[in-house]
Structure 1
Amino acid sequence: MTTPVLIWFRHDLRLADHAALAAALEPGGKVLPVFVLDDEAAGEHRYGAASRWWLKQSLAALAGSLAARGAPLLLAKGRAETILPALADATGALAIHAGRGVEPWARAQSRRVHEALADAGRTLQLHTTVLLREPHGFASGSGKPYAVYTPFAKAMLAAGEPGAPLPAPPRIPGLEQPAGGESLDRIGLYPVPGEPDWAAGFAQHWQPGEAGAQARLARFAAGALAGYDETRNQPGIEGSSGLSPHLRWGEVSPRQVWHAARAGAKGSGVETFLKEILWREFAYHLLWHRPEMPERCLRPTYENFPWEPDARLLAAWQRGRTGYPIVDAGMRQLWRSGWMHNRVRMVTASLLVKHLLQPWRDGAAWFWDTLLDADLASNSASWQWVAGCGTDAAPYFRVFNPVLQGEKFDPDGTYVRRWVPELAKLPAAFIHRPWEAPEGILAAAGVRLGQAYPRPIVDAGEGRARALAALAAMRPDGAVAAA
């Protein structure tokens, strides 16, 4: 008689192209699918509010798919190293299959689960479910981890195309669930039933779950992918894939995305898009080899950068009240939809850390709480890139001008008009610099600067000069030079 097996879902909430699920089904016995919400293990990197909204919807979708195939999902809350061995003991399972976690807390969690299972003669078998290649097995010619994206991407491409994705199993023979499972409403995700639904607007923009991921991937592959290299920087149109939340929660695998892109179109747009998938891989590569990345600068000299923390400036940025329309549009898009266009992410982040001299960790923390695609590897690597303190980063002296960025990538103001409606009636010539508009034009557009819409929180030229002065004040050893 075949021994039962547990399949532990982590950040891979799908059935297709799931190596751990395929391995769990291979012996032919019954399977118990499990998801454990382990906030204690995640610590300060526990899922943010927006992430918890998405996770709740995604788990509901996964549970429905599993139940339809014969194996209902068991939900649990608590320490994984306690819950999983107890479930293995209750069911008689000798093995647990799961995807490998890359985050430092997830790696530590895996070790604890492995040790707890080993004490009872059971095993934890980890598989590749969220990446194209595991970072611990991919190194440069010298045997060292990659620190720069371009050689990393070249090596990934030289290693060959990813294998074909696995199909979803048509049937999953399920075990009878032992007692102790939690309901989705009681597991501790948001919004809480009976309380105001602050995330009500998210559902207008997203369909969490594997079916939603596949629908979005198909739409992108058949549409915007072909011109991706031209349209990806234009926030006023749907020129990007919008797949980042689905990839973050593993509702679609990067291997599925890769093959769909290859089959969907030809030309430079496809190659540019695949480089974005490789950037995601690179961020995980960095996090695996530099687990301090979410907290510490990868370039140690920046640890003593002369930031000027100011709660008032941070709050204005968070609320989309900086006086720079492209930045404010991005921050309001984030708040209302749980997502922000990638080009605008760079511009908003640059304004915070360069013009306003606010610590990059404060920006990363806000994104972590408000992004539906909040991913520890990509979030940390991207903020360090903008702040100039990563191993492969934009130089700190590269300062995005928010006005010029808006005029270049949102020339007619479509993006700004959607998310900053108080400026919607301004002519395109002034939509990104309303403070320069004549009083008659402002009045005709119903814009009251300093009241309904703020004046710039800092002059762009002065902010850039202050940022460069702060950089110059930092000595090579990381200390700040005397004034």
Structure 2
Amino acid sequence: MIKALHKMAAAVPSVIHWFRLDLRIHDNLALRNAINEAENRKYLLRPIYVLDPDIKNKVGVNRLRFLIQSLQDLDINLRKLNTRLYVIRGKADEKIPELFDEWQVKYLTQQLDIDPEYVEKDCVIEKVAEKKDIFIVKRVQHTVYDCNSVLKKNNGSVPLTYQKFLSLASELPVKECIEIKKQIPDSSNPSDFESHDYDVPSLSDLGIDDSTLVACKYAGGETEGLKRLDMYMARKDWVCKFEKPNSFPNSLEPSTTVLSPYISHGCVSSKLFYHKLKEVENGRKHTEPPVSLMGQLMWREFYYTAGTGTENFDKMKGNSVCTQIPWGKNDEHLKAWAEGRTGYPFVDAIMRQLKQEGWIHHLARHMVACFLTRGDLWISWEQGAKVFEDYLLDYDWSLNAGNWMWLSASAFFYKYFRVYSPVAFGKKTDKEGLYIKKYVPELNKYPVAFIYEPWKAPKEVQQRAGCVIGVGYPKRIVDHDKIHKENMQKMAAAYKANKEKKAQRPLKRKRSD
């Protein structure tokens, strides 16, 4: 009987909406297109998410937990509309072509994404869809602006400065957000609607013991994301007075919104955030980009535009906007940095917070990125970007690459002589080192005078504190005061070499018409 029902279901054509970085119901035009198409043509509706079986080896446990929570919440919200989420286990470019036949798919909707991982899979799937006469609809809904429209306004070129981007974007309209409220008719639900084969897996299903994880500080999902958005938008004075430089990288609780994980996963629409900010700012005196909250959202748009228009944006070689710098290679230093064992307590506290909680303040990201690259360790920004891809809840392909190029002075920012001090920078906002004592607890009995520079503490002070440097806490892997000056000279030489190389290139002749 069950097999007969499955055969009947297969005989009715289906519409798939493929959720990727749009894990929400609100402002999801591609999902609404799928719903309308299913209802109008009397097709079956199947909202899917494809879960790579190797995912736990590709992302850190904090981000995986956030993703699973987001999928669980998405399934709950879809069921309120009388549909559900079908989680498909496998490789997308293998499984979706199989589903085309199994479910008699006629129509596929999805969000337009620029992450190379999605682009590569899309190419495979689109070739199969074309052969099978399956119609694919892609919608721009992960950014406020259509990045290709911004590029078109700039004659196809990538705007290389934030201000240039703002001037281009200001001429483009921002569409209103859509809402999906109407119930899906029962006739659109397949016979396997209640099948547990497509349920969202738990972490234990994926072989992860969640009891070993630290308490979840930022729960994933659209419901939680919208709640967080509303909470901050209700603080109108705080929003209007927000200035990025005046927030603290080492506050024990976040001094910013922490909406970024929800926006990067698509649990909250960036366009909704834009309109909510506009509502709050309307008629009130407020700060302006780049330091305002709107300015922070526009940084995301800037990097997305750059990533859209630049081949190999996440690499140094073959990247037209990236300065070619002869970075060194030191696996021991890279590992010490990633694990928070550099011997610099402020740097180590940041990296440990990142590993434990999946989120750190943007200025803290500046500190550790500069330290890894041009500041101290002279290791390629590509290596740091890979570590952030693993640890960050709010990992975002274009932002991760763009910010790492900026902080390594490889693109967008070129004042390489401005180096963050791993000692002085943290002291500005946390003189007592409370942040260090929280995340580097082996130093919590150190006197304030030595909390940022424990190697300067006399041996008897180290012994009284119960942590001798080189035994209970590592020695410094480099001497910042000395090495950052040497690295400045290397940066100057790299800039000079790149300039000379460009000067030697033959000028392209303009064709006379």
- State the TM-score bracket (shorter-chain normalisation): 0.7 to 0.9
Distance 1:115 1:193 in 2: 31
Q: How does 1:188-337 map to 2 (within 5 A)?
A: 192=205, 195-197=208-210, 200-201=213-214, 203-223=215-235, 225-229=239-243, 231-236=246-251, 237-264=253-280, 266-269=284-287, 271=289, 272-297=292-317, 298=319, 302-303=323-324, 305-337=325-357
Per-residue deviation, residues 171-216 of structure 1 (Å, max 9, x unmatched): 234421658954433xxx8565555438621x42111010111122
Shift of 1:293: 1.5
- Residue 157 of structure 2: aligned partner: 144
Q: Aligned partners of 1:300 and 1:159: how far apart in 2?
A: 24
From 87, 95, 117, the equivalent of 1:83 is 95
Secondary structure of the corresponding residue to residue 474 of structure 1:
helix
* Contact persistence 1:153–1:275 (CA under 8 A): no
Judge which range, 355-364 or 111-120, deviates more.
111-120
- The corresponding residue for 2:511 is none
Instruction: Mark the CA change 1:109 to 1:468 in structure 2 (over 3 Å): closer, same or farther.
Output: same
After TM superposition, the structure 1 = structure 2 runs for residues 403-422 of structure 1, keeping only pairs within 5 Å, are 403-422=423-442
- Structure 2 counterparts to residues 387-466 of structure 1, below 5 A: 387-390=408-411, 392-437=412-457, 442=462, 445-466=465-486
Distance 1:225 1:157 in 2: 21
In 1: Cα distance, 2:493 partner to 2:128 partner: 51
- Give the equivalent residue in structure 2 for 1:360: 381
Deviation of 1:63 after TM superposition, in Å, equals 1.4
**Does structure 2 retain, via aligned residues, the 8 Å contact 1:9–1:35?**
yes
1:129-160 per-residue CA deviation (whole Å, 9 max, x = no partner) reads 21112222222444423222221023223434
CA displacement at 1:20 relative to structure 2: 0.6
- When the two structures are superposed, what TM-score results if normalisation uses the length of structure 2? 0.82
| One-letter code aligned to 2:135 | T
Judge conservation of contact 1:473–1:480 (CA < 8 Å) in 2: no
Contact 1:34 1:73 in 2 (8 A): yes
Q: Hey, what's the Cα distance between the residues in 2 that align with 1:291 and 1:143?
A: 13
- Taking the aligned partners of 1:334 and 1:299, their CA distance within structure 2 comes to 31
| Structure 2 residue 134 is the aligned partner of structure 1 residue 122 | yes
User: Which residue of structure 1 lines up, in the alignment, with residue 168 of structure 2?
Assistant: 155
- Tell me, yes or no, if the aligned pair for 1:221 and 1:261 is still in contact at 8 Å: yes
Residue of structure 1 equivalent to 2:26: 16
> Which AA in structure 2 matches 1:119?
K
In structure 1, what is the Cα distance between the partners aligned to 2:255 and 2:278?
17
Residue deviations 1:38-72 (CA, integer Å, cap 9, x gap): 579x9xx9555543332222112111221232112
Q: Which amino acid aligns with 2:16?
A: L
The equivalent residue for 2:403 is 382
Cα distance between partner residues in 1 of 2:479 and 2:305:
38
Inter-CA distance 344–451: structure 2 relative to 1 (3 Å threshold): same
User: Which whole-Å deviations, capped at 9, do the CAs of 1:258-281 have from their partners, x for residues lacking one?
Assistant: 122233465445751111111111
Q: Which has the larger radius of gyration?
A: 2
Q: 1:479 to 1:356 in 2, by over 3 A?
A: farther
Q: Is 1:372 aligned to residue 382 of structure 2?
A: no
Please list every run of 5 or more consecutive structure 2 residues that lacks an aligned counterpart in the other structure. 1-11, 502-513
Q: What's the offset of the Cα at 1:292? A: 0.3
2:45 aligned to 14, 31, 46, which one?
31
Per the alignment, in what secondary structure is the counterpart of residue 131 of structure 1? coil
Q: Distance in 1 between matches of 2:95 and 2:32?
A: 23
Q: Distance in 2 between matches of 1:277 and 1:382?
A: 14
Shift of 1:250: 0.3
SS in 2 for 1:206: coil
- Opposite residue 235 of structure 1, the aligned amino acid is N
Taking the aligned partners of 1:394 and 1:425, their CA distance within structure 2 comes to: 40
C-alpha RMSD over aligned residues: 3.1
Do the aligned residues in 2 keep the contact of 1:228 with 1:270 (CA within 8 Å)?
no
TM-aligned CA distance change 1:289 to 1:194, over 3 Å = closer
Could you give the per-residue CA deviations for residues 372-418 of structure 1, whole angstroms, max 9, x where no partner exists? 2221111111111111112x124333221111211123334232222
Inter-partner Cα distance in structure 1 for 2:232 and 2:70: 21
Q: What is the CA distance between 1:247 and its match in structure 2? A: 1.0
Question: Distance between the aligned counterparts of 1:440 and 1:308, measured in 2?
Answer: 38
Q: For structure 1, which segment, 406-415 or 253-262, has the greater mean C-alpha deviation from structure 2 after superposition?
A: 406-415
Instruction: Give, in whole Å, the separation in 2 of the partners of 1:420 and 1:57.
Output: 29
1:472 Cα shift? 3.7
Measured in 2, the distance between the counterparts of 1:180 and 1:286 equals: 42
Report if the CA contact (8 A) 1:58-1:208 is conserved. yes
3-state secondary structure, aligned to 1:352: helix
Q: C-alpha separation between the residues in 1 aligned to 2:91 and 2:198? A: 14
CA apart distance, 1:365: 1.1
Choose 118-127 or 77-86, whichever is displaced more: 77-86
Structure 1 residue 4, shift from structure 2 partner? 4.6
The AA in structure 2 aligned to 1:402 is P
Return 436-445 or 453-462, whichever deviates more. 436-445
Task: Tell me the alpha carbon deviations over residues 60-114 of structure 1, each in whole angstroms, 9 at most, x when there is no partner.
Answer: 2111221232112111133434533443444444211111111123223223322
- Between the aligned partners of 1:170 and 1:437, the Cα distance in structure 2 is 67
Match of 2:489 in 1: 469
| Counterparts in 2 of 1:310 and 1:274: CA distance versus 1, 3 Å | same
Give 1:100's aligned residue: 112
Q: Equivalents in 2 of 1:419, 1:371: separation in Å?
A: 17
